[in-house]
Amino acid sequence: MSIVVPTLELNEPTTVDPTPRKRRGPSWSWAALIVPLVACLYVGVVILLPALSVVAQAFAKGVGVFLDNFKSPELLSSLRLTLFASAVAVPA
């Protein structure tokens, strides 16, 4: 049993169809419209909706109560801890 390997002569002329193929349909696809829309909806649901909920809860009892919370020792301690952790985690 023998194996036949096709060979190509380098001097053989090749033919190429000079006319470009015509595209069918529009140059855009529905995926080009749907994918960014789905991405924006995802960001809106996962990031913006919880952020809006936090802001709404912060101001639920009024602006005065919100501003009074800045005087509490718990807030100052948590801010110090956050700044310290940021300084350790992100070296200059």
End-to-end CA distance of the chain: 72
Does a structural domain hold residue 76? yes
Tell me, yes or no, if the pTM score tops 0.75.
no
Q: Give the residue carrying structure tokens 């096709």.
A: 6
Does a structural domain hold residue 70? yes
- Domain of 75 in residue numbering reads as 31-87
State whether residue 69 is helix, strand or coil: helix
Does a structural domain hold residue 8? no
The count of domains in the chain is 1
For 1-33, what is each residue's pLDDT tens digit? 677 766 666 666 666 666 777 767 666 678 888
Does a structural domain hold residue 44? yes
Region 43-54 average pLDDT: 93
Does a structural domain hold residue 49? yes
Nearest to 74 by CA among 86, 63, 82, 64: 82
For 60-91, what is each residue's pLDDT tens digit? 999 999 889 888 999 999 999 999 999 999 87
Nearest to 69 by CA among 80, 58, 55, 82: 58
pLDDT band at 56 (very low <50, low <70, confident <90, very high): very high
